[in-house]
Structure 1
Amino acid sequence: MAKLSPIVSEFASTEEEAAHDAWVRAKVEKALASTAPCIPHEEVIAEMQAILDRHKAPGKY
């Protein structure tokens, strides 16, 4: 197990890094293979803006 420097990597070892990489790649492959309907960009942006607006503290902005 090769240890990684925290300056170079957020992972403690090359095995941890490889496991995370495999997990991310599997998620991407699943998303690309999905047949679920796409959500329009404008709808996603509107939903995210609503979430941000709900979490803004009054008077801070």
Structure 2
Amino acid sequence: MSTVLSPIESEFATVAEAEAHDRWFRAKVQASLDDQRPSLPHDQVMAKLRDIIEAKRQAHAFDPVAR
């Protein structure tokens, strides 16, 4: 049984959950560091995201069911 954590001190209910998340997070970071693909500049990523958000906003504006 894992030690219960206080919600004031941790977003996880137990030490086991916190440790599992830590392992998952570290694996994700390592995978990103190991990725050999070229990085994209921040401005380019943000421009793509703005386009996606605007397309969703426009699609929502013309959808009478979504209102």
TM (normalized to structure 2)?
Answer: 0.73
Structure 2 partner of 1:4: 5
Identity %: 41
Higher relative contact order structure (alpha carbons within 8 Å, sequence separation ≥ 6):
1
Structure 2 unaligned runs (5+)? 62-67
Considering only aligned residues, what root-mean-square deviation do their CA atoms show, in Å? 1.4
Count of residues paired in the alignment: 58
Structure 1 unaligned runs (5+)? none
Structure with greater Cα Rg: 2
Structure 2 partner of 1:13: 14
Q: Deviations over 1:13-58 (max 9, x none)?
A: 0010001001000110111011012112221010111122233365
TM (normalized to structure 1)?
Answer: 0.79
Shift of 1:12: 0.8
1:22 aligns with 2:16: no
